[in-house]
Amino acid sequence: MKRSLSISAIAFACLASASPAPADSSQTAAAELQKWIASKAVTVRSLDAADEDFSDLEPLVKAIGSAQVVQLGEPGHGAGSSFAAKVRLIKFLHQRMGFDVLLWESGMYDLELSQAGMRGDDTPAIAAHRGIFRLWSDAEELKPLFDYVKTSQATVHPLDMAGFDMQVTADGSMDRFASDLRAFVAALKEPGLRSEMTGLADQALAARAHLFSSNFAAETELKTLDQAVRQLLAGMRDNSNSFRSIHNARSIALMEHWIENMRIDAQNRYEARHSAGPEVEREKRRDARNFENLRWLIREGYPGRKFIVWAHNVHVMKAYYSSDFRTVHVEPKADDMKPTGVFLAGRLAKQVYTIGMTTFQGSDALVTGGAATVINPAAADSLELHLHALGQPFVFLDLRSGGLPMHAPLSARIPKYDSVVVPDVGRVYDGLLYIDRMAPATKLR
Protein backbone atom coordinates (compact mmCIF):
# COMPACT_ATOMS: atom_id res chain seq x y z
CA MET A 1 0.00 0.00 0.00
CA LYS A 2 1.35 3.42 -0.95
CA ARG A 3 1.31 5.68 2.07
CA SER A 4 2.76 8.89 0.63
CA LEU A 5 3.00 10.58 -2.75
CA SER A 6 6.05 11.95 -4.56
CA ILE A 7 5.86 15.35 -6.21
CA SER A 8 6.39 15.21 -9.93
CA ALA A 9 7.82 17.98 -12.03
CA ILE A 10 4.45 18.26 -13.74
CA ALA A 11 2.72 18.81 -10.40
CA PHE A 12 5.15 21.60 -9.51
CA ALA A 13 4.61 23.17 -12.90
CA CYS A 14 0.84 23.04 -12.35
CA LEU A 15 1.18 24.75 -9.00
CA ALA A 16 3.59 27.39 -10.25
CA SER A 17 1.58 28.24 -13.35
CA ALA A 18 -1.55 29.02 -11.35
CA SER A 19 -0.26 32.42 -10.28
CA PRO A 20 2.54 34.90 -10.99
CA ALA A 21 5.98 33.95 -9.68
CA PRO A 22 6.05 34.65 -5.92
CA ALA A 23 8.84 36.15 -3.92
CA ASP A 24 11.64 33.79 -2.83
CA SER A 25 10.33 33.45 0.73
CA SER A 26 6.81 32.70 -0.46
CA GLN A 27 8.13 30.23 -2.99
CA THR A 28 10.15 28.45 -0.32
CA ALA A 29 7.16 28.32 2.02
CA ALA A 30 4.95 26.91 -0.73
CA ALA A 31 7.55 24.28 -1.57
CA GLU A 32 7.84 23.25 2.08
CA LEU A 33 4.08 23.01 2.39
CA GLN A 34 3.87 20.94 -0.77
CA LYS A 35 6.59 18.63 0.50
CA TRP A 36 4.79 18.16 3.82
CA ILE A 37 1.46 17.45 2.11
CA ALA A 38 3.10 14.92 -0.21
CA SER A 39 4.74 13.13 2.71
CA LYS A 40 1.48 12.94 4.70
CA ALA A 41 -1.07 12.37 1.95
CA VAL A 42 -2.80 9.00 1.79
CA THR A 43 -4.17 7.97 -1.59
CA VAL A 44 -7.78 6.81 -1.31
CA ARG A 45 -8.41 4.33 -4.07
CA SER A 46 -12.16 4.57 -4.41
CA LEU A 47 -15.40 6.16 -3.22
CA ASP A 48 -17.38 3.12 -4.32
CA ALA A 49 -19.50 1.78 -1.45
CA ALA A 50 -19.17 -1.72 -2.89
CA ASP A 51 -15.38 -1.57 -2.53
CA GLU A 52 -14.74 -3.31 0.79
CA ASP A 53 -11.02 -3.77 0.30
CA PHE A 54 -10.17 -1.21 2.95
CA SER A 55 -6.38 -1.47 2.67
CA ASP A 56 -6.23 2.08 1.30
CA LEU A 57 -8.07 3.37 4.39
CA GLU A 58 -5.89 1.52 6.89
CA PRO A 59 -3.86 4.67 7.80
CA LEU A 60 -7.08 6.11 9.27
CA VAL A 61 -6.86 3.54 12.07
CA LYS A 62 -3.72 5.20 13.40
CA ALA A 63 -5.02 8.72 12.73
CA ILE A 64 -8.32 8.16 14.56
CA GLY A 65 -6.73 6.12 17.30
CA SER A 66 -8.93 5.55 20.36
CA ALA A 67 -11.46 8.29 19.55
CA GLN A 68 -15.04 7.46 20.51
CA VAL A 69 -16.60 9.83 17.97
CA VAL A 70 -15.71 10.39 14.31
CA GLN A 71 -17.41 13.33 12.63
CA LEU A 72 -17.84 13.28 8.85
CA GLY A 73 -18.51 16.64 7.23
CA GLU A 74 -19.46 17.72 3.74
CA PRO A 75 -18.96 21.10 2.01
CA GLY A 76 -22.50 21.20 0.65
CA HIS A 77 -25.77 19.36 1.05
CA GLY A 78 -25.63 18.49 -2.64
CA ALA A 79 -22.05 17.22 -2.65
CA GLY A 80 -22.69 13.80 -4.14
CA SER A 81 -19.05 12.70 -4.09
CA SER A 82 -18.86 13.56 -0.38
CA PHE A 83 -21.97 11.45 0.21
CA ALA A 84 -20.34 8.49 -1.54
CA ALA A 85 -17.10 9.00 0.38
CA LYS A 86 -18.94 9.02 3.69
CA VAL A 87 -20.80 5.81 2.88
CA ARG A 88 -17.54 3.94 2.23
CA LEU A 89 -15.92 5.49 5.32
CA ILE A 90 -18.87 4.44 7.48
CA LYS A 91 -18.59 0.84 6.31
CA PHE A 92 -14.87 0.94 7.07
CA LEU A 93 -15.41 2.47 10.51
CA HIS A 94 -18.09 -0.09 11.33
CA GLN A 95 -16.30 -3.18 10.06
CA ARG A 96 -12.70 -2.30 10.88
CA MET A 97 -12.92 -0.06 13.96
CA GLY A 98 -16.17 -1.02 15.69
CA PHE A 99 -18.11 2.24 15.33
CA ASP A 100 -21.72 1.16 15.57
CA VAL A 101 -24.03 4.19 16.04
CA LEU A 102 -24.62 6.58 13.14
CA LEU A 103 -25.83 10.00 14.34
CA TRP A 104 -27.55 12.15 11.72
CA GLU A 105 -28.02 15.87 11.39
CA SER A 106 -31.74 15.09 11.31
CA GLY A 107 -34.60 15.08 13.78
CA MET A 108 -33.96 13.39 17.10
CA TYR A 109 -37.54 12.12 17.26
CA ASP A 110 -37.72 11.40 13.52
CA LEU A 111 -34.71 9.07 13.62
CA GLU A 112 -36.39 6.97 16.29
CA LEU A 113 -38.94 6.17 13.58
CA SER A 114 -36.20 5.44 11.04
CA GLN A 115 -34.35 3.12 13.39
CA ALA A 116 -37.57 1.31 14.29
CA GLY A 117 -38.23 0.86 10.58
CA MET A 118 -34.74 -0.53 10.02
CA ARG A 119 -35.29 -3.06 12.80
CA GLY A 120 -38.81 -3.79 11.62
CA ASP A 121 -40.47 -4.58 8.33
CA ASP A 122 -39.79 -1.34 6.43
CA THR A 123 -37.65 -1.38 3.33
CA PRO A 124 -34.37 0.54 3.78
CA ALA A 125 -35.65 3.46 1.70
CA ILE A 126 -38.94 3.76 3.59
CA ALA A 127 -37.16 3.57 6.94
CA ALA A 128 -34.75 6.33 5.87
CA HIS A 129 -37.61 8.54 4.70
CA ARG A 130 -39.31 8.27 8.08
CA GLY A 131 -36.66 10.47 9.69
CA ILE A 132 -33.75 11.65 7.57
CA PHE A 133 -33.75 14.93 5.65
CA ARG A 134 -34.82 14.29 2.06
CA LEU A 135 -31.66 15.91 0.76
CA TRP A 136 -29.95 12.72 1.97
CA SER A 137 -32.69 10.08 2.03
CA ASP A 138 -33.58 10.87 -1.61
CA ALA A 139 -29.96 10.68 -2.82
CA GLU A 140 -28.88 7.71 -4.93
CA GLU A 141 -25.43 7.86 -3.33
CA LEU A 142 -26.91 6.85 0.05
CA LYS A 143 -28.91 3.85 -1.09
CA PRO A 144 -26.00 1.45 -0.39
CA LEU A 145 -25.74 2.85 3.14
CA PHE A 146 -29.40 2.33 3.95
CA ASP A 147 -29.25 -1.20 2.51
CA TYR A 148 -26.18 -1.84 4.66
CA VAL A 149 -27.81 -0.51 7.85
CA LYS A 150 -30.88 -2.65 7.24
CA THR A 151 -28.85 -5.81 6.64
CA SER A 152 -26.72 -5.17 9.72
CA GLN A 153 -29.77 -5.25 12.01
CA ALA A 154 -29.90 -9.03 11.72
CA THR A 155 -26.25 -9.45 12.72
CA VAL A 156 -24.52 -9.56 16.10
CA HIS A 157 -23.01 -6.14 15.36
CA PRO A 158 -25.74 -3.89 13.98
CA LEU A 159 -25.14 -0.32 12.83
CA ASP A 160 -27.84 1.65 14.63
CA MET A 161 -29.05 5.13 13.69
CA ALA A 162 -30.14 8.12 15.76
CA GLY A 163 -30.66 11.83 15.16
CA PHE A 164 -29.43 14.86 17.09
CA ASP A 165 -31.18 17.74 15.31
CA MET A 166 -33.88 19.62 17.22
CA GLN A 167 -35.88 20.13 14.01
CA VAL A 168 -38.68 18.04 12.56
CA THR A 169 -37.15 16.62 9.40
CA ALA A 170 -39.58 14.14 7.85
CA ASP A 171 -43.17 14.18 6.65
CA GLY A 172 -45.68 12.85 9.16
CA SER A 173 -43.30 12.61 12.10
CA MET A 174 -44.94 15.48 14.00
CA ASP A 175 -48.30 13.71 13.91
CA ARG A 176 -46.63 10.59 15.26
CA PHE A 177 -44.92 12.61 17.99
CA ALA A 178 -48.21 14.20 19.03
CA SER A 179 -49.74 10.73 19.43
CA ASP A 180 -46.72 9.47 21.35
CA LEU A 181 -46.71 12.45 23.71
CA ARG A 182 -50.42 12.07 24.47
CA ALA A 183 -49.99 8.35 25.08
CA PHE A 184 -46.96 9.03 27.27
CA VAL A 185 -48.90 11.22 29.72
CA ALA A 186 -52.16 9.27 29.40
CA ALA A 187 -50.43 6.26 30.95
CA LEU A 188 -50.09 8.04 34.31
CA LYS A 189 -51.97 6.25 37.08
CA GLU A 190 -53.04 9.24 39.21
CA PRO A 191 -56.17 10.80 37.65
CA GLY A 192 -55.36 14.34 38.74
CA LEU A 193 -51.78 14.26 37.48
CA ARG A 194 -52.87 12.54 34.28
CA SER A 195 -55.45 15.24 33.61
CA GLU A 196 -52.97 18.05 34.31
CA MET A 197 -50.22 16.59 32.11
CA THR A 198 -52.66 15.77 29.30
CA GLY A 199 -53.98 19.33 29.35
CA LEU A 200 -50.46 20.77 29.11
CA ALA A 201 -49.51 18.40 26.30
CA ASP A 202 -52.65 19.30 24.35
CA GLN A 203 -52.03 22.99 24.93
CA ALA A 204 -48.44 22.80 23.68
CA LEU A 205 -49.34 20.74 20.61
CA ALA A 206 -52.27 22.99 19.70
CA ALA A 207 -50.14 26.14 20.01
CA ARG A 208 -47.47 24.63 17.78
CA ALA A 209 -50.06 23.60 15.20
CA HIS A 210 -51.52 27.13 15.16
CA LEU A 211 -48.07 28.63 14.75
CA PHE A 212 -47.34 26.51 11.70
CA SER A 213 -50.76 26.98 10.11
CA SER A 214 -50.51 30.77 10.52
CA ASN A 215 -46.92 30.95 9.28
CA PHE A 216 -45.84 31.96 12.77
CA ALA A 217 -47.92 35.13 12.73
CA ALA A 218 -49.04 35.24 16.37
CA GLU A 219 -46.59 35.81 19.20
CA THR A 220 -49.29 34.83 21.70
CA GLU A 221 -49.20 31.26 20.38
CA LEU A 222 -45.43 31.16 20.79
CA LYS A 223 -45.78 32.30 24.40
CA THR A 224 -48.49 29.71 25.00
CA LEU A 225 -46.26 26.97 23.60
CA ASP A 226 -43.29 28.15 25.63
CA GLN A 227 -45.25 28.26 28.88
CA ALA A 228 -46.96 24.92 28.31
CA VAL A 229 -43.66 23.17 27.53
CA ARG A 230 -41.94 24.62 30.58
CA GLN A 231 -44.81 23.55 32.84
CA LEU A 232 -44.94 20.11 31.24
CA LEU A 233 -41.22 19.53 31.79
CA ALA A 234 -41.42 20.86 35.35
CA GLY A 235 -44.33 18.50 36.01
CA MET A 236 -42.30 15.57 34.72
CA ARG A 237 -39.42 16.46 37.02
CA ASP A 238 -41.58 17.14 40.06
CA ASN A 239 -43.46 13.87 39.61
CA SER A 240 -40.54 11.76 38.49
CA ASN A 241 -41.56 8.79 40.62
CA SER A 242 -44.97 8.66 38.96
CA PHE A 243 -43.40 8.70 35.51
CA ARG A 244 -40.71 6.15 36.44
CA SER A 245 -43.42 3.76 37.60
CA ILE A 246 -44.75 3.48 34.03
CA HIS A 247 -41.81 4.44 31.78
CA ASN A 248 -38.14 3.50 31.80
CA ALA A 249 -35.44 6.15 32.33
CA ARG A 250 -34.39 6.20 28.68
CA SER A 251 -37.95 6.79 27.45
CA ILE A 252 -38.45 9.63 29.92
CA ALA A 253 -35.17 11.32 28.98
CA LEU A 254 -35.96 11.02 25.28
CA MET A 255 -39.40 12.53 25.76
CA GLU A 256 -37.89 15.44 27.71
CA HIS A 257 -35.45 16.11 24.87
CA TRP A 258 -38.18 15.88 22.21
CA ILE A 259 -40.47 18.27 24.08
CA GLU A 260 -37.71 20.84 24.59
CA ASN A 261 -36.66 20.48 20.95
CA MET A 262 -40.21 21.38 19.94
CA ARG A 263 -40.10 24.56 22.01
CA ILE A 264 -36.70 25.79 20.75
CA ASP A 265 -37.45 24.90 17.13
CA ALA A 266 -40.67 26.94 17.27
CA GLN A 267 -38.77 29.87 18.75
CA ASN A 268 -36.24 29.76 15.92
CA ARG A 269 -38.92 29.53 13.25
CA TYR A 270 -40.84 32.44 14.76
CA GLU A 271 -37.75 34.62 14.82
CA ALA A 272 -36.90 33.66 11.24
CA ARG A 273 -40.38 34.82 10.19
CA HIS A 274 -40.15 38.18 11.97
CA SER A 275 -36.48 39.09 11.75
CA ALA A 276 -34.73 40.46 8.68
CA GLY A 277 -31.34 40.41 10.37
CA PRO A 278 -28.56 37.80 10.25
CA GLU A 279 -29.21 34.30 11.52
CA VAL A 280 -26.55 34.48 14.22
CA GLU A 281 -28.73 33.91 17.27
CA ARG A 282 -30.84 31.23 15.59
CA GLU A 283 -27.78 29.34 14.36
CA LYS A 284 -26.12 29.56 17.76
CA ARG A 285 -29.30 28.37 19.47
CA ARG A 286 -29.72 25.43 17.09
CA ASP A 287 -26.09 24.27 17.38
CA ALA A 288 -26.18 24.59 21.18
CA ARG A 289 -29.37 22.56 21.38
CA ASN A 290 -28.12 19.98 18.91
CA PHE A 291 -25.04 19.54 21.07
CA GLU A 292 -27.23 18.86 24.11
CA ASN A 293 -29.03 16.17 22.12
CA LEU A 294 -25.73 14.77 20.88
CA ARG A 295 -24.18 14.73 24.33
CA TRP A 296 -27.15 12.82 25.77
CA LEU A 297 -27.04 10.25 22.96
CA ILE A 298 -23.34 9.63 23.52
CA ARG A 299 -23.46 9.53 27.32
CA GLU A 300 -26.82 7.99 28.08
CA GLY A 301 -28.70 7.03 24.95
CA TYR A 302 -26.06 4.57 23.75
CA PRO A 303 -23.55 4.25 26.61
CA GLY A 304 -20.25 2.61 25.80
CA ARG A 305 -20.80 2.68 22.04
CA LYS A 306 -18.69 4.30 19.29
CA PHE A 307 -20.27 7.01 17.15
CA ILE A 308 -20.16 8.39 13.63
CA VAL A 309 -21.64 11.86 13.09
CA TRP A 310 -23.07 12.75 9.66
CA ALA A 311 -23.43 16.52 9.18
CA HIS A 312 -22.29 19.55 7.19
CA ASN A 313 -18.73 20.83 7.58
CA VAL A 314 -20.10 23.97 9.23
CA HIS A 315 -21.56 21.95 12.11
CA VAL A 316 -18.69 19.51 12.73
CA MET A 317 -15.74 21.91 12.51
CA LYS A 318 -13.81 22.93 15.62
CA ALA A 319 -13.68 26.64 14.72
CA TYR A 320 -16.12 29.55 14.83
CA TYR A 321 -17.64 31.29 11.82
CA SER A 322 -18.86 34.82 11.25
CA SER A 323 -22.41 36.00 10.66
CA ASP A 324 -21.85 36.12 6.88
CA PHE A 325 -20.80 32.44 6.90
CA ARG A 326 -17.64 33.41 5.01
CA THR A 327 -14.99 33.93 7.68
CA VAL A 328 -13.60 31.28 10.01
CA HIS A 329 -11.81 31.97 13.30
CA VAL A 330 -10.01 29.48 15.50
CA GLU A 331 -10.53 31.92 18.36
CA PRO A 332 -14.05 33.38 18.76
CA LYS A 333 -14.81 36.97 17.83
CA ALA A 334 -17.84 39.13 18.57
CA ASP A 335 -20.99 37.84 16.84
CA ASP A 336 -19.29 34.60 15.79
CA MET A 337 -21.37 31.45 15.71
CA LYS A 338 -20.34 28.44 17.75
CA PRO A 339 -20.87 25.14 15.90
CA THR A 340 -21.82 21.86 17.48
CA GLY A 341 -18.29 20.63 16.75
CA VAL A 342 -16.77 23.29 19.02
CA PHE A 343 -19.04 22.22 21.88
CA LEU A 344 -18.23 18.56 21.27
CA ALA A 345 -14.47 19.01 20.98
CA GLY A 346 -14.50 21.14 24.12
CA ARG A 347 -16.23 18.36 26.03
CA LEU A 348 -14.59 15.23 24.58
CA ALA A 349 -11.22 16.63 23.40
CA LYS A 350 -9.15 13.91 21.70
CA GLN A 351 -12.06 11.49 21.94
CA VAL A 352 -13.46 13.26 18.86
CA TYR A 353 -11.82 13.01 15.43
CA THR A 354 -13.32 15.41 12.87
CA ILE A 355 -12.93 14.86 9.12
CA GLY A 356 -13.81 17.79 6.90
CA MET A 357 -14.25 17.43 3.15
CA THR A 358 -13.14 19.72 0.37
CA THR A 359 -12.62 19.80 -3.40
CA PHE A 360 -10.67 21.51 -6.16
CA GLN A 361 -13.59 21.98 -8.54
CA GLY A 362 -16.86 20.45 -9.76
CA SER A 363 -20.51 21.04 -8.96
CA ASP A 364 -23.06 20.65 -6.18
CA ALA A 365 -26.81 20.12 -6.53
CA LEU A 366 -29.53 19.35 -4.01
CA VAL A 367 -31.67 16.34 -4.88
CA THR A 368 -34.66 18.26 -3.54
CA GLY A 369 -34.42 20.73 -6.44
CA GLY A 370 -32.93 24.06 -7.37
CA ALA A 371 -30.09 25.15 -9.60
CA ALA A 372 -26.73 23.44 -9.44
CA THR A 373 -23.76 25.28 -7.95
CA VAL A 374 -20.67 25.42 -10.14
CA ILE A 375 -17.48 25.02 -8.11
CA ASN A 376 -14.74 26.90 -9.89
CA PRO A 377 -11.09 25.79 -9.60
CA ALA A 378 -9.61 26.61 -6.20
CA ALA A 379 -7.67 29.82 -5.69
CA ALA A 380 -3.94 30.17 -6.20
CA ASP A 381 -1.83 29.19 -3.16
CA SER A 382 -4.84 27.47 -1.58
CA LEU A 383 -4.66 24.18 0.28
CA GLU A 384 -6.84 22.67 -2.46
CA LEU A 385 -4.37 23.73 -5.16
CA HIS A 386 -1.55 22.02 -3.28
CA LEU A 387 -3.65 18.88 -3.03
CA HIS A 388 -4.62 19.12 -6.69
CA ALA A 389 -0.93 19.19 -7.58
CA LEU A 390 -0.59 15.65 -6.24
CA GLY A 391 -2.52 14.41 -9.26
CA GLN A 392 -4.75 12.05 -7.27
CA PRO A 393 -8.58 12.01 -7.38
CA PHE A 394 -9.02 11.26 -3.66
CA VAL A 395 -6.63 12.01 -0.80
CA PHE A 396 -6.84 11.77 2.99
CA LEU A 397 -4.69 14.12 5.04
CA ASP A 398 -4.22 13.64 8.79
CA LEU A 399 -3.88 17.09 10.35
CA ARG A 400 -3.80 15.98 13.97
CA SER A 401 -0.31 14.48 13.64
CA GLY A 402 1.09 18.01 13.45
CA GLY A 403 4.06 19.42 11.62
CA LEU A 404 2.04 21.43 9.11
CA PRO A 405 4.37 24.25 8.00
CA MET A 406 2.43 27.46 8.49
CA HIS A 407 4.78 30.24 7.45
CA ALA A 408 1.77 32.33 6.44
CA PRO A 409 -2.01 32.06 6.80
CA LEU A 410 -3.38 29.46 4.42
CA SER A 411 -6.38 29.80 2.14
CA ALA A 412 -8.76 26.84 2.16
CA ARG A 413 -12.36 26.02 1.33
CA ILE A 414 -13.70 26.02 4.88
CA PRO A 415 -16.40 25.17 5.69
CA LYS A 416 -18.18 25.45 2.31
CA TYR A 417 -16.85 26.23 -1.16
CA ASP A 418 -15.68 29.77 -0.42
CA SER A 419 -11.96 30.15 0.17
CA VAL A 420 -11.14 31.67 3.54
CA VAL A 421 -7.80 32.32 5.19
CA VAL A 422 -7.14 30.46 8.43
CA PRO A 423 -4.00 30.53 10.56
CA ASP A 424 -4.09 26.82 11.34
CA VAL A 425 -6.22 24.35 9.38
CA GLY A 426 -5.41 21.69 11.98
CA ARG A 427 -7.47 23.62 14.51
CA VAL A 428 -10.52 23.44 12.26
CA TYR A 429 -10.39 19.74 11.35
CA ASP A 430 -8.39 16.76 12.58
CA GLY A 431 -8.32 15.26 9.11
CA LEU A 432 -9.28 16.22 5.60
CA LEU A 433 -10.79 14.13 2.81
CA TYR A 434 -9.95 15.80 -0.50
CA ILE A 435 -12.02 15.07 -3.63
CA ASP A 436 -10.41 16.54 -6.72
CA ARG A 437 -13.63 16.89 -8.72
CA MET A 438 -16.92 17.05 -6.86
CA ALA A 439 -19.92 15.46 -8.55
CA PRO A 440 -23.45 16.64 -7.63
CA ALA A 441 -25.85 14.45 -5.71
CA THR A 442 -28.23 12.42 -7.85
CA LYS A 443 -31.91 11.77 -7.24
CA LEU A 444 -32.79 8.30 -6.00
CA ARG A 445 -33.90 6.14 -8.87
Looking at the fold, whether 348 and 382 belong to one and the same domain comes out as yes
Domain count, the chain: 2
Write down the pLDDT at residue 276: 75
In whole angstroms, what is the distance from residue 365 CA to residue 370 CA?
Answer: 7
Strands 42-43 and 160-165: unpaired
pLDDT value, residue 409 = 77
Of the candidates 293, 292, 287, the one whose C-alpha atom is nearest the C-alpha of residue 336 is 287
Q: What is the pLDDT of residues 390-429, one digit of tens each?
A: 999 999 999 998 877 755 678 999 999 999 998 889 999 9
For residues 142-160, one letter each, b for 16 or more C-beta atoms within 10 angstroms of the residue's C-beta and e for the rest, the string is bbbbbebbbebeeeeebbb
pLDDT of residue 11: 44
**For residue 312, what are the domain limits?**
9-99+306-438
What's residue 273's pLDDT? 93
- Structural domain includes residue 156: no
CA distance 377 to 252: 51
List, in sequence order, every residue forming a beta bridge with 256; answer none if it has no partner.
Answer: none
- Domain boundary among the residues 260, 278, 301 is at 301
Residue 7: its pLDDT value, please?
A: 39
> Mean pLDDT score of the chain, rounded to an integer?
93
pLDDT tens for each residue of 112-161: 999 999 999 999 999 999 999 999 999 999 999 999 999 999 999 999 99
Q: Which pLDDT value is given to residue 9?
A: 39
Paired residues of 398 in beta bridges: 431
Alpha carbons within 13 A on the beta-carbon side of 210: 15
Q: In this structure, are strands 394-398 and 101-107 parallel, antiparallel, or unpaired?
A: unpaired
**Is the confidence at residue 17, as pLDDT, over 60?**
no
**CA dihedral (132, 327, 374, 79) positive or negative:** negative
What confidence score (pLDDT) does residue 19 get? 45
pLDDT of residue 408: 61
pLDDT of residue 405: 72
The answer to whether residue 196 scores a pLDDT higher than 90 is: yes
Q: Are residues 272 and 365 in the same domain?
A: no
Between CA 246 and CA 255, with CA 249 as vertex, the angle to 5 degrees is 85
Shared-domain flag, residues 233 and 280: yes
Confidence bin at 21 (pLDDT 50/70/90): very low
Q: Say whether both 293 and 317 belong to one domain.
A: no
Q: What is the CATH number of the domain that holds 432?
A: 3.40.1660.10
DSSP class of 301: I
Say what percent of the chain tops pLDDT 90.
85
Tell me if 110 is assigned to some domain: no
In sequence order, what are the residues at sequence separation of 6 or more whose Cβ sits closer than 8 angstroms to the Cβ of residue 351?
Answer: 66, 67, 68, 69
Alpha carbon distances (Å) from 69 to 107, 123, 338, 342, 350: 19, 28, 19, 14, 9
Residue 379 counted as domain residue: yes
What's the pLDDT band for 278 if we cut at 50, 70, 90?
low
CA distance 171 to 236: 28
CA dihedral angle for residue 103, residue 314, residue 442, residue 309, rounded to 10 degrees: -10
How much is the pLDDT for 265? 97
With pLDDT > 70 as the criterion, what percentage of the chain qualifies?
93
Kindly list the distances between the CA atom of residue 284 and the CA atoms of 256, 260, 382, in Å, as whole numbers in the listed order. Answer: 21, 16, 29
315 located within any domain? yes
Judge if 337 and 414 occupy the same domain.
yes
Say if 142 falls within a structural domain: no
Same-domain check for residues 294 and 311: no
Q: What's the whole-model pTM score?
A: 0.93
CA 246 to chain CA centroid, nearest Å: 34
Give me the mean pLDDT over the 355-374 stretch. 97
Residue 253 located in a structural domain: yes
DSSP alpha helices (H): ranges in 153-239? 173-186, 191-213, 219-238
Is 114 within the bounds of a domain? no
- Calpha distance 163→290 (Å, rounded): 9
**Residue 324 banded pLDDT, cuts 50, 70, 90:** confident
Question: What is the pLDDT confidence band of residue 341, given thresholds at 50, 70 and 90?
Answer: very high
Report the C-alpha gap between 97 and 374 in whole angstroms.
Answer: 36
- Assess whether pLDDT exceeds 90 at residue 186: yes
